[in-house]
Structure 1
Amino acid sequence: MPGGTKDPIPRGAAIRTSDHAQFETTRARLRARRVQHPFTGVSSLGLDVEAIVEACQAYEPLLRAGEAFSHQTAALLLGAPLPSRMSAAQPLHVMSPGVTRARTTGTVGHRSSGSFPVVLRFGLPVVSPEATWLHLAGALRREDLTAVGDFLVTGSPFGRSREPAFTTLPQLAATLHRSPRCRGARAARWALEQIRVGPASRMETLLRLVIVAAGLPEPVIGHPVAVGRGLMLHPDLAYPDLRIAIECEGGDHREARRWEHDIERRELFEDAGWRVIRVTRHALFDEPERLIERIRRVRLARSAP
């Protein structure tokens, strides 16, 4: 620090302001300009409270025994795909086990009638993936609840590998069975019928659901396609009998290297005799009827003798 001034608390840490003596500092030093006060009664240093993990780390000193992060906060900590309206780090959702719910400014408190299963994520207590999914049933439309379910039973992309699945479809079903009249139970029952292992993104799930809702056959997720030179590609969705590959084009596909990769990928499919349908976010979310008509036309053309 400039002038050799020691930080009043460890950088990247949060403490209860009332516990200042344990850190050999004083309340006066915790009023320094560089010290953050993200929640009432909390002092922190060097945390980005706009990021979900660090926002939860900032609140952690206020967690009481048995409490855990829940609802969309738990979903974000797990990495689950949520609509943009629910992607902000705050307010934080906190579940309490049969005690007074959290009431701190910047939080939404929830109360359980008893204890509930908790897992650790980034060292933070989070309600179980199954409970998180069921909590979201009352806040998400059923298609987005399906996307979260797909993510939980598939596992999350992590670097160059994929983290293991967080749960299974039977475990989700068992959680709903124990709370058949919970908020959003109807949406949860519908989503259980639609959840599949394999989708790599929310967009892929929503595209599959739009296709099925239009009365078209359900496409196969990640079907293996041999494209020569010993290469095996896996289109996002496919109609293998008609050799139709359906590929989602998210925002990251505009990056130059990814764009070049997508061109080569499409050529490999076409050289192997496959027809590729590329689906943009605009086509899916703004003009789904035109998208479905395009898929119908391609299916009809590929079905012709």
Structure 2
Amino acid sequence: MTRRAPLQPHLVGAAFRVRDERFHNATRGRLRASDVQRPFTAVRSVALDLDDVSGRCLAYEPLLREGEAFSHETAAALLRLPLPSEPTRVHVLAPPGATRARGRGVAGHVASVAPPVVLHDGFPIVAPAFVWCQLANGLSPYDLVAVADAIVTGPRRGEVRGPALATLEELRDAAARWGARRGAATISEALPRVRVGAESRRETHLRLTLVDCGLPEPAPNAPVRLASGATVHPDLAYPERRIALEYLGDTHRTDRRRWQADVRRRRDLAAAGWQVIEVTAEDLGANRDAFIEAIRQLVTATAA
């Protein structure tokens, strides 16, 4: 059996054009071997995680032209924004007047007006506020609000939040510059509903569902000071009524430490005289009417 010629060590974890022979120093036959990936036309890579958006973007980098940036769902995924599903294609935005990117696994776009571009983890991407506008034509109104909530809510470490990806004012500015382009009506509907504090897509969906059913708007992750001196942050709360709503997502089954911390928080709230309502996906689906009626009765009773 013929042994494969070894690849150059610098190729591991890299992507390169087939024509860049000085870089890869491999024959065309060697580049057809099973240990060499074919992520895009005319590009090869070695040992990249092509199931991850960062890996796919690394694989596409040899094809990026001057002025291009990752955009739309790809930029959102790189920013770890709460999309309903992982993008399967790499979205690339070309500057005004350029030709759009084409090829297998690529969604090319051309900007009518060039948006700001920033570096994120080494990748050129459209600035987060403008990524939000780009998503407006493809997301539901609830999901568009959830993405915006994530953009304006910085990561929380105890009582301190880190910097957000963008401010509400930057979202408003991006929406104004977006003008009447596709998705403008959805942007206009979503923008007033964006709140700082939501920490998951389902929390946003729950908040919007309650409001759209005529209930008062709950506060996302409001601080609740306990008698012990500790501060906890229920997912959603009616502080004046001492009602907390805690969404039980998949992380409660897969992340043991998160699950235990959430159990302790619910116990602490209950001990402090709060009514804690655990919410599941079924409560926003098949059980929605009964769930909403139960919350309505509880809010009415505690308001009396």
Q: Which moved more, 1:264-273 or 1:253-262?
A: 253-262
Amino acid at match of 2:171: L
Question: Cα–Cα, structure 1 residues 179 and 82, in superposed 2: closer, same or farther, change >3 Å?
Answer: same
Report the Cα distance in structure 2 between the residues aligned to 1:61 and 1:218, rounded to whole angstroms: 48
Please give the per-residue CA displacement for 1:207-257, whole angstroms capped at 9, x wherever unaligned. 110011011111112222122322111111111111111111111112444
Report the Cα distance in structure 2 between the residues aligned to 1:142 and 1:294, rounded to whole angstroms: 25
Cα offset for 1:44?
A: 0.3
What is the aligned partner in structure 1 of residue 225 from structure 2? 226
Report the Cα distance in structure 2 between the residues aligned to 1:246 and 1:114, rounded to whole angstroms: 43
Q: Which moved more, 1:113-122 or 1:62-71?
A: 113-122
Report the Cα distance in structure 1 between the residues aligned to 2:285 and 2:59, rounded to whole angstroms: 36
Question: Cα–Cα, structure 1 residues 16 and 222, in superposed 2: closer, same or farther, change >3 Å?
Answer: same
* Corresponding position: 1:276 with 2:262: no
What are the residue-to-residue correspondences of 1:28-107 with 2, within 5 Å? 28-84=29-85, 87-88=86-87, 90-97=88-95, 98-107=97-106
TM-score by length of 1: 0.91
What is the aligned partner in structure 1 of residue 286 from structure 2? 286
Please give the per-residue CA displacement for 1:95-117, whole angstroms capped at 9, x wherever unaligned. 11121101111111111135331
Cα offset for 1:170?
A: 1.2
Report the Cα distance in structure 2 between the residues aligned to 1:6 and 1:114, rounded to whole angstroms: 47
What is the aligned partner in structure 2 of residue 202 from structure 1? 201
Cα offset for 1:162?
A: 6.2
Native 8 Å contact 1:157 1:200 kept in 2? no
Question: Cα–Cα, structure 1 residues 286 and 82, in superposed 2: closer, same or farther, change >3 Å?
Answer: farther
Native 8 Å contact 2:154 2:162 kept in 1? yes
SS in 2 for 1:273: coil
Native 8 Å contact 2:269 2:276 kept in 1? yes
Q: Which moved more, 1:208-217 or 1:226-235?
A: 226-235
Native 8 Å contact 1:226 1:272 kept in 2? no
Report the Cα distance in structure 1 between the residues aligned to 2:192 and 2:50, rounded to whole angstroms: 37
Please give the per-residue CA displacement for 1:131-160, whole angstroms capped at 9, x wherever unaligned. 1000001111111111111011113579xx
SS in 2 for 1:110: strand
SS in 2 for 1:18: coil
What is the aligned partner in structure 1 of residue 136 from structure 2? 137
Question: Cα–Cα, structure 1 residues 163 and 51, in superposed 2: closer, same or farther, change >3 Å?
Answer: farther
Report the Cα distance in structure 1 between the residues aligned to 2:223 and 2:129, rounded to whole angstroms: 30
Report the Cα distance in structure 2 between the residues aligned to 1:63 and 1:48, rounded to whole angstroms: 19
Question: Cα–Cα, structure 1 residues 266 and 156, in superposed 2: closer, same or farther, change >3 Å?
Answer: closer
Report the Cα distance in structure 2 between the residues aligned to 1:212 and 1:197, rounded to whole angstroms: 16
What is the aligned partner in structure 2 of residue 262 from structure 1? 262
Q: Which moved more, 1:8-17 or 1:69-78?
A: 8-17
What are the residue-to-residue correspondences of 1:88-237 with 2, within 5 Å? 88=87, 90-97=88-95, 98-156=97-155, 164-237=163-236
Q: Which runs of 5+ in 2 are unaligned?
A: none
Amino acid at match of 2:59: A
Cα offset for 1:271?
A: 1.1
SS in 2 for 1:238: strand
What is the aligned partner in structure 2 of residue 298 from structure 1? 298
Question: Cα–Cα, structure 1 residues 222 and 114, in superposed 2: closer, same or farther, change >3 Å?
Answer: closer
SS in 2 for 1:38: strand
Please give the per-residue CA displacement for 1:36-80, whole angstroms capped at 9, x wherever unaligned. 111110010001111100011101100111111111111001110
Q: Which moved more, 1:219-228 or 1:190-199?
A: 219-228
TM-score by length of 2: 0.92
